[in-house]
Amino acid sequence: MSKWAEPGVAALVIIALATPAFAEGYGLGRPATDAEIAAWDIDIRPDGQGLPEGQGTPLEGEEIYAGQCAVCHGDFGEGVDRWPILVGGFDTLTEDRPVKTIGSYWPFASTVWDYVHRAMPFGEAQSLSDDEVYAIVAYLLYMNDIIEDEEAVLSRETFADVEMPNADGFIPDDRPDMATLQQGEPCMRDCTDAPLKVIMRARVLDVTPEGE
Amino acid sequence: MTLSRRNLLAGAAGSAALATTVARADDPAITELPDWSVYLGDGVDAAPYGVPSEYEADAIRRDVPWLTADPVSSVNFTPLHKLEGIITPNGLCFERHHSGVAQIDPTEHRLMINGLVDKPLVFTMEDIRRFPRENRIYFLECAANTGMEWRGAQLNGCQFTHGMVHCVQYTGVPLRYLLEEAGVRTNAKWIMPEGADASAMTRSIPLEKALDDCMVAFAMNGEALRPEQGYPLRIVVPGWEGNMWVKWLRRIEVGDEPWHHREETSKYTDLLESGKARRFTWEMDVKSVITNPSPQAPITHGKGHTVLSGIAWSGRGTVERVDVSIDGGRNWTTARIDGPSHTKALHRFYHEFDWDGSPLLLQSRAIDSEGWVQPTKDALRAMRGTESIYHNNSIQTWHVRKGGEVENVEVG
């Protein structure tokens, strides 16, 4: 189908036909300048694409973290009250209450750089310098036993050396894992043996907000 | 349904008896003139932007304060039990923000397309409105909808168990037109929408989906997007996780690999019992819930003719069929779908029956146009465990007691 809406009048038909729709597009928008792209293009990829110049060590990061992050995430990344936990949870992914952190769950270190830079500290996003982000990321990796030396320099060059413990922890979407009509029509009559009983009630847990 | 035939006869006999034996008192709602039939009401200048009747004060979004640390990175829920049809009113669409609601001046808003394109471009809102527009009705469901129920029945109300879904008509421009304008390079495979709010939300979306049915929308249900839904511009990703529908859309980068950002690694990955997690689980599975009766909407009229109503949806197409059970899944009857059936939109279903006043265990089971069937809680847990958080599309059970009171239960 043509991109052009059906013209209502003859004059419009001529204009429409005279303009090659797909080749030229609509002629809308204007070119982005290099400085504009640089200002907004802040994303980082696992292969390092997007990482800026700069560097930092866990030791440098510790100080910035204490001043800007610990109030919510805790001195040791343990999470104050219900603010997110950032450290630990190793080997808990098969347990009853898994604890998902940078150390136990995140597959890529680049994600830490990207996220801290774009969204943290909470309420003051994009206020950290590139060196500060490198230092904080180094410190978060250090607290998670991923970087061992507190004076190790994290930079665009050394980033590729970081190995995340749960890098192999992910699989592609393999749904459908539930029965579809291909396995046959669902049961309509006498689908269970005995009449069913209530085995659990929401009110017992009593977690519904006030006023309900 | 054999049950209702028997009940119908019993019910008919019962009401006939009532009519002959009880002399009714006259209804003052008829015999006495109310104020509104005597005095003048407000003029046309009283409400330049209308609001619902004061008697509908209960039809509001609600949140669960203990769920999150701070209301600016939190969620509230659509009052599904108060709604009819398939369209959600703009002011009742659930909200999920990661850094609060950005208040953006549309004249200051820009959309940039950069990355693997021939011409990186910048659009103003005025530019976007000059592309050909489309109107499409889609549901948007948070992948964590019903996430609180993995371990068992928790929250008493479909607003809380299922209220992270809404369905509106979007007006916008097919994303394809914008990408074609910039000229997508042949090695491009992915796009990454990014928000202008303080969370600068990002997700990786396959280019194939972007060129298929994604839109950039500036209006919902006929008016400009609400700020909490991304005013002035959001991306629409039909049928896929709500988190991907980036609000306050400021940029789309085109690339050859996914970005693996926080919202597709730390979050929105589905941990299985093996300790491995599924990633890139974009489609929202076929799902339904009975909205009336439900814990916040008990049966108040006593036994007799009863209307059961609910919604069903699938991220893979239309809903072909909804079956309803009133005995906890032992026997099923196909419900009546009424109203339009759009792909990747809510569907409204009804089941009318004669309630004999005995306890009921209500369930609904949807089947979509691809043949996917809504599973039981047991089947889903047997396959995935209880730590997935996301994509819980299992069958919900409501227990109706003798008095008509309803609670969220599990049966076995």
B-proximal residues of A, 57-116, CB under 8 Å = 72, 81-84, 93-94, 98, 100, 102, 105-108, 110-111, 114-115
Q: Which of B11-25, B334-348, B367-381 has the lowest mean pLDDT?
A: B11-25
Return the residue matching tokens 């909407």. Answer: B297
pLDDT digits (tens, 9 = 90+) for B9-18: 444 444 444 4
Asked whether the beta carbons of residue B278 and residue A174 sit closer than 8 angstroms, the reply is: yes
Return the residue matching tokens 């471009």. Answer: B121
Asked whether the beta carbons of residue B372 and residue A176 sit closer than 8 angstroms, the reply is: yes
Distance from CA of B40 to the nearest CA of A (A): 35
Average pLDDT estimate for B302-314: 98
Are the CB atoms for A150 and A59 separated by under 8 Å? Answer: yes
The Cα–Cα gap between B360 and B353 comes to 12
Domain boundaries, chain A: 7-37, 43-161
Element (H, E) at A73: helix A70-73
pLDDT digits (tens, 9 = 90+) for B233-285: 999 999 999 999 999 999 999 999 999 999 999 999 999 999 999 999 999 99
Strand B205-206 relative to strand B190-195: parallel, antiparallel, unpaired? antiparallel
Average pLDDT estimate for B119-140: 98
Are the CB atoms for B174 and B215 separated by under 8 Å? Answer: yes
First to last CA, chain B: 24
- pLDDT of B20 reads 52
Domain boundaries, chain B: 96-278, 287-409
Q: With beta carbons under 8 A apart, name residues in chain B contacting A197.
A: 411-412
Asked whether the beta carbons of residue A212 and residue B265 sit closer than 8 angstroms, the reply is: no
Q: Nearest by CB to B260, which of A25, A107, A173? A: A107
Strand A55-56 relative to strand B360-368: parallel, antiparallel, unpaired? unpaired
Distance from CA of B252 to the nearest CA of A (A): 10
Q: What is the DSSP string of B283-332?
A: BPPPEEEEEESBTTB---S-SEEEEEEEEEE-TTS-EEEEEEESBTTSS-
B-proximal residues of A, 127-146, CB under 8 Å = none
Pick the CATH number of B96-278 from 3.30.70.3040, 3.10.20.30, 2.60.40.790, 3.90.420.10: 3.90.420.10
Q: Is B114 an 8 Å CB contact of chain A?
A: yes
Asked whether the beta carbons of residue A186 and residue B410 sit closer than 8 angstroms, the reply is: no
Question: What is the overall mean pLDDT for chain B?
Answer: 94
Distance of CA B199 to the CA centre of its chain: 23
Are the CB atoms for B113 and B131 separated by under 8 Å? Answer: no
pLDDT at B400 over 80: yes
Q: Is B321 an 8 Å CB contact of chain A?
A: no
- pLDDT of A10 reads 42
Neighbours of B107 (CB within 10 A): 9
Average pLDDT estimate for B354-363: 97
The pair of structure tokens assigned to B224 is: 């400009």
Distance from CA of B13 to the nearest CA of A (A): 28
pLDDT of chain A along its 212 residues, tens only?
344 444 444 444 444 444 444 456 899 999 999 999 999 999 999 999 999 999 999 999 999 999 999 999 999 999 999 999 999 999 999 999 999 999 999 999 999 999 999 999 999 999 999 999 999 999 999 999 999 999 999 999 999 999 999 999 999 999 999 999 999 999 999 998 877 889 899 977 777 776 54
Q: Is A200 an 8 Å CB contact of chain B?
A: yes
Q: Is B401 an 8 Å CB contact of chain A?
A: no
Q: What is the DSSP string of A24-44?
A: HTT--SEEPPHHHHHHH----
Share of chain B above pLDDT 90, in %: 91
The Cα–Cα gap between B174 and B375 comes to 34
Cα B210 to Cα B19, B130, B141, B214, B347, distances in angstroms: 62, 20, 18, 5, 25
What's the CATH fold of domain A43-161?
Cytochrome Bc1 Complex; Chain D, domain 2 (1.10.760)
Helix (H, G, I), strand (E, B) or coil at B225: coil
The Cα–Cα gap between B152 and B243 comes to 24
Give B69's pLDDT tier (boundaries 50, 70, 90): confident
Q: Is A174 an 8 Å CB contact of chain B?
A: yes
A14/B212: higher pLDDT: B212
Q: With beta carbons under 8 A apart, name residues in chain B contacting A114.
A: 202, 259, 261-262
Q: How many CA atoms lie within 13 A of B364 on its CB side?
A: 29
Q: What pTM did the predictor assign?
A: 0.92
Residues 6+ apart with CB under 8 A from A10: none
Average pLDDT estimate for B158-170: 98
Q: Is A193 an 8 Å CB contact of chain B?
A: no
Asked whether the beta carbons of residue A201 and residue B250 sit closer than 8 angstroms, the reply is: no
A-proximal residues of B, 240-259, CB under 8 Å = 250-251, 253, 255, 257, 259
pLDDT at B124 over 70: yes
Q: What is the DSSP string of B348-365?
A: EEEEEEEE-SS-EEEEEE
Pick the CATH number of B287-409 from 3.30.1330.30, 2.60.40.650, 2.60.40.10, 3.40.50.150: 2.60.40.650
Q: Is B153 an 8 Å CB contact of chain A?
A: yes
Under DSSP, the state recorded for A159 is: G
